[in-house]
Amino acid sequence: MAQPQLVVAGSINTDIIVHSARLPAAGETVLGGDWLMAGGGKGANQAVAAARAGANVHFVGRTGTDLFGRESLQRLKVEGIDTAHVVEDSQKKSGLAIIMVGPDGDNIISVAQGANAAVSPEDVDAAAGIIDAADVLIAQMEIPAETVYHAIRTVHEHGTKVLLNPAPAPGEPIPPEILGMIDYLVPNQVEALRLAGTGDFDSSVNALLERGVKHVIVTLGANGAAVFDSSGRHDVPAFRVNAVDAVGAGDAFCGVLACGVAEGLDLLDAVRMANAAAALSVTRPGAQPSMPARDEILALLNAQ
């Protein structure tokens, strides 16, 4: 089997994570416990997840030239990710996320986009050579929507499959033209409702399918995932684990799902593999540090 070829167009952050006995209310100060600084950003997290699952990953994005940016690039390179198309932007600071994690693994996050906000369509065009050879494009919404949509149009011309994780949910509706180019739309429940603009979950997903999306895979946290397509709804249960930190679980899911479909797995099998990766990720602190290796994923799959 040929190694899956993926391109990730997305964000690169440094995460500063504080664990707390509870999450604070607005205006409240809560004393925390342990803290961790680690690689983050949805794009970088998903790239690491896919690389550890066995894919050959190329990255399109931006960092600053500061210490955070240099360390972020080094972390990606250690994972074997091609960073030749990551621009080091001397005019911008690197992306930074402040994360508080409660005792049950739930979290609240504030992100300073920094150089991520400057990722441009021209950055995508500069990576045309790797896009031509890719099996799947992975994108999220932590870089400008204009750039995400340009990347989707570009890879669509080459027959590359598109996986879009619409997080955070865009403020404006995704253009119908773009929806028709998306092979795998992977929102959580809240994002699915916002994207469709309806108040009912099933109606929201069906509306997205009617607008041209080929498959909608809704992540449901501890309840696994639900796959929707022209054949109906298919539920894929989660793996039961003791959650420590949910930061990055959705990114583990997306990166491994992209790797699975690029390998040619049946979609439900790829989702089950992604569920296993997400389950393993919540048993460890941090985003990128928590992404499991392929042998760990397969061991959990085979143990069930």
> Residue ranges per domain, the chain?
5-12+40-94+116-303
Residue 77's pLDDT is 97
pLDDT at 273 over 70: yes
The strand pair at 161-164 and 184-185 is best described as: parallel
Residue with tokens 């952050």: 13
Token pair of 229 as six digits: 């397509």
Average pLDDT of the segment spanning 253-282: 97
Fold of 5-12+40-94+116-303: UDP-N-acetylmuramoyl-L-alanine:D-glutamate ligase (3.40.1190)
- Predicted TM-score of the model (pTM): 0.93
Residue 267's pLDDT is 98
Question: Strand pairing partners for 63?
Answer: 88
- Helix (H) or strand (E) run with residue 164 in it: strand 161-164
Residue 99's pLDDT is 86
Distance CA 69, CA 61 (A): 11
* 251 a catalytic residue: yes
Distance CA 185, CA 192 (A): 9
Q: Whole-number mean pLDDT of the chain?
A: 93
Select the more confidently predicted residue: 68 or 36.
Answer: 68
Residue 1's pLDDT is 65
Catalytic one among 106, 202, 251, 295?
A: 251
**What are the angstrom distances between the C-alpha of 280 and each of 227, 241, 293?**
21, 8, 10
- Give the tens place of pLDDT for each residue, 206-236: 999 999 999 999 999 889 999 999 999 999 9
Using left for φ > 0, alpha for ψ between -120 and 50, and beta otherwise, residue 141 falls in: alpha
Distance CA 150, CA 195 (A): 19
Is 182 buried (19+), middle (13-18) or exposed (0-12) by CB count in 10 A?
buried
pLDDT at 37 over 70: yes
Distance CA 78, CA 236 (A): 33
- pLDDT confidence band for 132 (50 / 70 / 90): confident
